[in-house]
Amino acid sequence: MRVHPDLASRVREGGHYTRIVREEPPDADGWTCFVIDFEVEFNAVEYVLGFGPHIDVIEPAVLRDQVIALAKGIVDFYARR
């Protein structure tokens, strides 16, 4: 995951069902790449969605696809209301 500079310290604090495997130095834009293990796959989806556009899933592609699908589902749900 590529994490916005404002959130890097919060990601370092950890969370439920997460373990930071590796942290890379910030890139030219100040974003930090983290490799994070999650206990359950859906916890990863929830985690990413909780930070909105401040986390960029680089890989695995299946996680990125799940985040996109759930985000679209949320938008569709509220658009119908």
Q: Could you read off the pLDDT of 5-34 as tens digits, one per residue?
A: 999 999 998 877 889 999 999 999 999 999
> 25-72: per-residue pLDDT in tens?
999 999 999 999 999 889 999 999 999 999 999 999 999 999 999 999
Euclidean distance between CA atoms 18 and 36, whole angstroms: 7
- Give pTM, 2 decimals: 0.85
Q: Which residue has the tokens 């996109």?
A: 68
| Residue 74, pLDDT above cutoff 80 | yes
Check: CB of residue 5 under 8 Å from CB of residue 26.
Answer: yes
Per-residue confidence (pLDDT) for residue 32, from 0 to 100? 98
Check: CB of residue 34 under 8 Å from CB of residue 5.
Answer: no
> 55-56 and 18-23 as β-strands: parallel, antiparallel, unpaired?
unpaired
Check: CB of residue 15 under 8 Å from CB of residue 39.
Answer: no
